[in-house]
Amino acid sequence: MPDKTQPIVSFGFQDVEYDQKESLVKQVFSSVAESYDLMNDLMSGGVHRLWKNFMVGQISSRPDLRVLDVAGGTGDISFRMSKRLAHARITLCDINPEMLEVGKKRAIERGLQDRITWVCGDACKLPFEDRSQDVYTIAFGLRNVTDTQAAINDAYRVLSPGGQYLCLEFSTVVLPMLREAYEKYSFTVIPKIGEIVAHDRESYQYLVESIARFPDQDTLEQMMKNAGFERVSHINLAGGIAALHVGWRV
């Protein structure tokens, strides 16, 4: 049983001690690092690429832009930004060394190793100075942090005045008929694909459970406002299967 003296947080459908979640999530992503990008394509039919392109397209560009890609893992978002934002200074931060190593190898293959700075760090307590970044992105990573509100608060801390926060995450399906089909697919097909391709059913079982327990769109907007963000909004993608949340540090 969890120790009642510690805060209790969710790890999928399990309730675990606050200090346990980080190591459990690290185990998941250490296990799936090598197959992570292939699995994203298989699970979404490649649609995740369109969602990520859409997010990067919402970034307000200007010269010498300082961009922080949190939970950037294997580099998908940073690679897209390096192409669209030619003169941006991009830093990718992820808590998992195995994911970072895969990302660095992919960067070398693409000739982008000099465009991105790689940092191992925790989204809840980022190793960056206050007001040091102009744009903060996090794609499909917020639901895996130990403390969602703490991560949003720290995003606000590191953004400069006028800074833009963009969070792309699986969310709550808003169409009833689609919701039922999506839940059935998530809990029956995705863990099976994980078992066959990644040889790890349990990690993908956790991932679909983490989606089910993640705050809905309105709740996440309120959490952003609680952190201090203004002009907060969201755009549902594929009926709410995913949503892009945007906020500004004014």
Whether the per-residue pLDDT at 2 is higher than 60: the answer is no
- The length of the chain is 250
The helix (H) or strand (E) run that includes residue 28 is helix 18-32
Whether the per-residue pLDDT at 4 is higher than 70: the answer is no
Q: Give a yes or no: residue 35 inside a domain.
A: yes
Q: How far apart are CA 15 and CA 111, in angstroms?
A: 43
Q: Give a yes or no: residue 198 inside a domain.
A: no
Domain of 129 in residue numbering reads as: 8-174+204-249
How many domains is the chain partitioned into structurally? 1
Q: Give a yes or no: residue 194 inside a domain.
A: no
Side-chain half-sphere CA neighbours of 71 within 13 A: 25
Minimal CA–CA distance to 48: which of 110, 136, 140? 140
132 vs 19, which has greater pLDDT?
132
Name the pLDDT band for 86 (thresholds 50, 70, 90): confident
Q: Give a yes or no: residue 221 inside a domain.
A: yes
Contact 94, 100 (CB under 8 A): yes
Whether the per-residue pLDDT at 134 is higher than 60: the answer is yes
Name the pLDDT band for 141 (thresholds 50, 70, 90): very high
54: amino acid identity, one letter: F
Minimal CA–CA distance to 69: which of 22, 129, 126, 148? 126
Q: Give a yes or no: residue 83 inside a domain.
A: yes
Q: What is the CATH number of the domain that holds 222?
A: 3.40.50.150
- DSSP state at residue 22: H
**Mean pLDDT computed over every residue of the chain:** 94
Whether the per-residue pLDDT at 5 is higher than 90: the answer is no
Quick one: tokens of 39? 């699995």
Contact 219, 142 (CB under 8 A): no
Q: Give a yes or no: residue 185 inside a domain.
A: no
Q: Give a yes or no: residue 158 inside a domain.
A: yes
Minimal CA–CA distance to 65: which of 39, 89, 48? 89
Q: Give a yes or no: residue 45 inside a domain.
A: yes
Q: How far apart are CA 40 and CA 59, in angstroms?
A: 23
Q: What is the pTM of this model?
A: 0.92
pLDDT of 1 reads 46
